[in-house]
Amino acid sequence: MAKDYTELAQDIVEHVGGKDNIVKLVHCVTRLRFTLKDESKADEDYLKQRDGIVTVVKAGGQYQVVIGNHVPDVYDAVLKVAGIQGEGSIDVDEGDVSKGNLFDQFIALVSGLFQPMLGVLSAAGMLKGLVAILVAFGISETDGLYIVLNTAGDGFFQFLPLVLAITAAKRFKMDQFTALALGFALVYPNIAVSFAKGGVTFLGLPVVFPVSSYLQTVLPIILTVWIGSKFEHFFKKVIPDVVKVFIVPFFTILITVPLAYLAIGPVMNYASDLVGSFFTGIYGLSPILYGLVLGALWQVLVMFGLHWGLVPLGILELQKGPGVILVATIAICFAQAGALLNIMFRSKEEKVKELSVPAFISALFGVTEPAIYGITLPMRTPFVMTCISGALTGAYLSFFDVKMQVMGGMGLFAIPSFIDPKNSMVLIHFLIAIVANFVLGFVLTQFIKIPYLYGGPDTGAKAETKAAEEVQPLKELKQEIIASPIIGSVVQLENVPDQVFASGAMGKGVAIDPTDGTVVAPANGEITLVFPTGHAVGMRTENGAEILIHIGMDTVSLEGKGFHTLVEAGQKVEAGQKLLEFDLAGVRAEGLPVVSPVIVTNLDDFDDVLVTQESHVKAGDYLLTAVK
């Protein structure tokens, strides 16, 4: 059972000057990092003497309360005591968001917004599949059974922006009801019709609204809530408390909704028109290249809502007869299904297996949102594999000039749309594309490692039970030899430019001034901690030493920039295996010390920690001895 840190959290909040004195709170691998309105209100002497607190450090404009390895639990307790519920005015740690390139950050953001709704999203997709089966068996679209079940399944997807408004509000720390008001404005009934005739202005500025409205879209509501959160945070600072409860949302909605209509709508329309023109140009150049490129990019276009540049063209084409514009996109859902099947077989996480089943069923019927946002996109590479599959089958369909006869269903129920009474090969080629996508999705995913989405195999209560059953007593040994994880000059711990490490409060060991940006495992063991920003790694050796490797000082402020982790918590590693890489020159360019402590933190299990007498070490050289 996890220890209750409520009392400690209450003491910390009270003695940093109370929750009203807290401007910002984040945490790194060992300490709570407060930004306070007035540091003189904090009782430093009390906090330093308080059990459960190692020490207090004031540096870089932060009031740092050093806790130790259990800082995440104390951090959570402090948030609760201070009244933070995820959308409060205090900025919580955003280490769960990828700090890589912009595309990685976008993927992490979008998949994170979808995580809370994945179960319902999958269920709605299965209902849409059930409706498709009923239609295939002759149920009329005017039948009450069809109407009710179709509404139950399709309603969630139609009004997806409203659900995303809630999850985005939590992510951007915005009031969820204000965010919902923004969402309702984007999907307001008949709003698209009102603007469709053109010539509508707002204070003299033209309003350009998508013909399709913002129903079923993802990106517009995320952008709108993000912009709205900026206004909300501003107005909370300048509006008196006595009228905040209604004046803040009033001004936030008043400004954000028109801005969404005037900016997001035109940008989306313009981008969609560019997409339509781009692919029309490619088709004129080479139909095969068109199929290849469209098949590769279709899922990405749908993610950004840019596919509307092609969908209307495809519909208009089909009104005149068989068409080719959308053919390359129809069978891609089977690549997702194939990738999911592979992930189901190979993933060691029970939650991933559970989510894969309904997502797999939905994908067979053309509903790929649960698969994409819940599993393949967060895993990155499986999503890329499905794009490659889509490219190959898109080129295949274009090469044989396969035409869709009518606009029909999705997934398996798109098959009748390719029945050409005059040419049976049209259907045969489409069936080949379905099988090829499924096989390619499965086979291509076979060549990649299936990453963890929920921290490791058998997470949750089942994992705790299994872990309890598998715990083995540590070996009795006289000493634990720890090799250097980094190349560089040896620096005695007391000379580290950080009071906490220099005092030995976090443990005993030594520091290294690195000459290379690679960190390797100093012994065989298991990774116990990979800090989200990538600047610190913890491990427990197979003989019981708990080691912390902390790259540089205050490098948590870089928010992951220049750091690339190669392992995950729970992963077994061997001595010499790469753990992380970092941009040494980049850290120095930021003006931060690069000297990196390597310490043994569980000193109660050892009598002493001896350090090397060498002035320079290479990775794998002797560094420490933990003596029992």
- Active site amino acids: 28
5 token code pair:
């840190």
CB 365 within 8 A of CB 411: yes
Query: What one-letter code names the amino acid at 387?
Result: C
List of residues 6+ apart from 256 with CB closer than 8 A: 182, 224, 227, 228, 231
- The number of C-alpha atoms within 13 Å of 196 and in the hemisphere containing its C-beta is 8
Q: In what order do the strands lie in the sheet with 525-530?
A: 572-573, 525-530, 536-541, 546-550, 596-600, 508-514, 488-492, 616-617
First to last CA, the chain: 28
Element (H, E) at 291: helix 287-304
CA–CA distance, 339 with 437 (Å, rounded to integer): 9
CB 486 within 8 A of CB 519: yes
Q: What whole-number distance in Å separates Cα of residue 210 and Cα of residue 219?
A: 13
Q: 291 and 389 in contact (C-beta within 8 Å)?
A: no
Contact 215, 161 (CB under 8 A): yes
How many angstroms from the chain centroid is the CA of residue 492?
39
Q: How many other C-beta atoms are found inside a 10 Å radius of the C-beta of residue 173?
A: 19
Gap between the Cα atoms of 454 and 379, Å rounded: 11
The candidate with the shortest Cα–Cα distance to 305, out of 386, 390, 369, 393, is 369
User: Which residues on neighbouring strands pair with residue 527, listed in sequence order?
Assistant: 539
CB 164 within 8 A of CB 222: yes
* Tally of CB atoms within 10 A around 491: 17
Closest CA relative to residue 358, chosen from 128, 119, 134 = 119
Residue labelled with tokens 């194939």: 338
Query: Which element (helix H / strand E) includes 31?
Result: strand 31-36
Residues 6+ apart with CB under 8 A from 542: 475, 523, 524, 525, 526
The DSSP letter of residue 376 is I
* Contact assessment for residue 170 and residue 164, using Cβ atoms and an 8 Å cutoff: no
Q: Which residues contact 180 (CB under 8 A, 6 or more apart)?
A: 162, 165, 166, 169
In terms of Cα–Cα distance, which of 337, 324, 329 is closest to 298? 329
Q: Tokens 């912390």 — which residue?
A: 548
The torsion angles phi and psi of 51, rounded to 5 degrees, stand at -60, 140
* Alpha helix stretches (DSSP H) within 90-159: 102-114, 118-136, 144-158
